[in-house]
Amino acid sequence: MIPADLISKKRDGHALTKDELTWFINGYLSGKVTEAQMTALLMAIFYTGMSEEETFALVDVMLNSGSTLDFSDSDAYVADKHSTGGVGDKVSLILAPIMAASGLMVPMIAGRGLGFTGGTIDKLETIPGFDTAPALETFKDWVNKNGCAIMAQSDQICPADKKIYALRDQTGTVPSVPLICGSIMSKKIAEGISGMVLDIKVGNGAFMKTMEQARDLGSWMKKIGAAFNIETDIIFTNMDQPLGRFAGLACEVQESVKALKGNGPKDLMEVTFELGAKLLVQTKLANHKDEAIQLQQSLIDSGKALAAFETMVDAQGGRLDELGSNAKPDHETVVHASEDGIIDWMDTEAIGWALVDLGCGRKNPGDSLDNSAGIEFLKKVGKETRKGDPVYRVFNSDPGRLDSASSMLEETFSTGESSPDSVLILGDL
């Protein structure tokens, strides 16, 4: 096979066979297919899409490019959660230990920042010593012993996706339904799970800008889950503004710990509990949503959820008590409102790119991150504000990047005379 021929075939809207996809992707892994050729294929897929058969084949090729986990010897329900990515979305850090405390097993393989969205692994690596790259057997032992563990994608698990994931981040091909499906579902299937819940973000700070796009993605995920015998629930959540009070790196870990202590922001906990409820009903630990939400709250109130998080961090070598001193920002500034009114709009994607500029994400492969960087949202949509009031507190270790990001943030909100209707949970599937 010739790479250019397969690129042209896809470019012209024709379906690739499973053999062709396997040859091309494995060729990229081995170096026979160049990065430029892989980029061209990704762009062709972005513009022409993939059929159902192609998408299933893509998931299968990525899955079988590496090893998989097997928890069939456990009596516990094995499940996971995934988000399509948002600004301030640290739900995984809160939900995994809550589910572990409830009796589920959560083997979470998470990603790094993608585009303007933050990555769970980048956040966890702000904890001194935290091991995100264990051997698979070690990871499995952690899950079996502690109920949850979180690791980065390795060369063992879906290495094809790992390499392509990084390339998508740099080539503007992130918001493609088949590529999103292939990336998410190959990793989830490789975890050896029986069920999952997917949080599909919708709005100006999401890859899916409309409910129509989100439902299309959700429908695909349900089909793939069914094809691979994974019970899959879908929730759609609003990303027209950041989630929680903080967005960044270490500050999101700190906010997650506060949430597990019972001091989480209302919006963050609403999304967390909604997702957790789906998993608890799946595994029959709760009969309905209200009961599941009550169970999660009780696990926080009793300290069991926090203990599960601390156990996970300790097992993975992390020193949580050193987080604050390790990621203390050297510089900060405030972005102020320019007029009186009610905040009626936030450009969440632009806030995400400001976070990248601040040091929370990568503009190029290999860019270093600033663990101390982040934004505190002092005002959000619906809040009354007066001219001169602080809206964002911005902080990092580099004054030059701080000034640049702050300038970007000045254009990311507006004020009006009334508060817009805003619903956080947009539905399910």
236-285 residue pLDDT tens: 999 999 999 999 999 999 999 999 999 999 999 999 999 999 999 999 99
Instruction: Report all structural domains of the chain as residue ranges with CATH numbers, in order of start.
Output: 3-49 (1.20.970.10), 79-323 (3.40.1030.10), 324-416 (3.90.1170.30)
Active site residue 82: yes
Strand partners, 165: none
Please tell me which residue in 65, 83, 154, 183 is annotated as part of the active site: 183
Higher pLDDT, 15 or 114: 15
As a whole number, mean pLDDT of residues 75-98 equals 96
Q: What is the identity of the amino acid at 77?
A: Y
Query: Which pLDDT score is estimated for 29?
Result: 95
Burial class (CB in 10 A: 0-12, 13-18, 19+), 239: buried
Structure-token pair, residue 380: 């959000």
Number of helices (H) and strands (E) in the chain: give both, helices first. Answer: 17, 13
5: Cα within 13 Å, side-chain hemisphere: 4
Active site residue 331: no
Q: Is the pLDDT of residue 111 over 90?
A: no
Active site residue 30: no
Please name which of 148, 122, 160, 158 lies closest in space to residue 29, comparing C-alpha atoms.
Answer: 160
Q: Is-contact 92 269, C-beta < 8 A?
A: no
Please name which of 271, 412, 425 lies closest in space to residue 348, comparing C-alpha atoms.
Answer: 412
298-354 residue pLDDT tens: 999 999 999 999 999 999 999 999 998 878 999 999 999 999 999 999 999 999 999
Active site residue 168: yes
Residue 29: phi and psi, rounded to 5, are -65, -40
The DSSP annotation for 376-415 comes to EESS-TT-EE-TT-EEEEEEES-HHHHHHHHHHHTTSEEE
Q: Is-contact 258 250, C-beta < 8 A?
A: no
Please tell me which residue in 90, 140, 162, 168 is annotated as part of the active site: 168
4-58 residue pLDDT tens: 999 999 999 999 999 999 999 999 999 999 999 999 999 999 999 999 999 999 9
DSSP state of 426: E
Distance CA 238, CA 98 (A): 22
Q: Is the pLDDT of residue 356 over 80?
A: yes
Q: Is-contact 79 99, C-beta < 8 A?
A: yes
Query: Which pLDDT score is estimated for 153?
Result: 84
Q: Is the pLDDT of residue 365 over 80?
A: no
Query: Which pLDDT score is estimated for 326?
Result: 77
Distance CA 4, CA 180 (A): 24
3-state DSSP assignment of residue 54: helix
CA torsion sign for 159, 182, 132, 146 is: negative
Structure-token pair, residue 390: 């602080």
Q: Which helix (H) or strand (E) holds 57?
A: helix 52-63
Structure-token pair, residue 335: 């972005």
Active site residue 183: yes
Please tell me which residue in 123, 187, 215, 245 is annotated as part of the active site: 187
Please name which of 35, 115, 21, 5 lies closest in space to residue 63, comparing C-alpha atoms.
Answer: 21
375-400 residue pLDDT tens: 999 999 999 999 999 999 999 999 99
Question: What is the average pLDDT score of the chain?
Answer: 95
Contacts of 257 (CB under 8 A, 6+ apart): 306, 309, 320
Q: What is the identity of the amino acid at 396?
A: N
142-182 residue pLDDT tens: 999 999 999 998 889 999 998 998 898 789 898 899 999 99
Distance CA 231, CA 9 (A): 34
Beta-strand ranges (E) seen in 85-207 are 106-110, 148-152, 195-202
Q: Is-contact 338 389, C-beta < 8 A?
A: no
DSSP state of 320: G
Q: Is the pLDDT of residue 114 over 80?
A: no
Distance CA 288, CA 282 (A): 10
Query: Which pLDDT score is estimated for 355?
Result: 97
Structure-token pair, residue 323: 């987080």
Q: Which helix (H) or strand (E) holds 20?
A: helix 18-30
Q: What is the identity of the amino acid at 91?
A: V
Q: What is the identity of the amino acid at 383?
A: K
Query: Which pLDDT score is estimated for 118?
Result: 86
86-95 residue pLDDT tens: 999 999 999 9
Please tell me which residue in 82, 188, 278, 379 is annotated as part of the active site: 82
57-72 residue pLDDT tens: 999 999 999 999 999 9
CA torsion sign for 80, 85, 89, 90 is: positive
Distance CA 420, CA 309 (A): 36
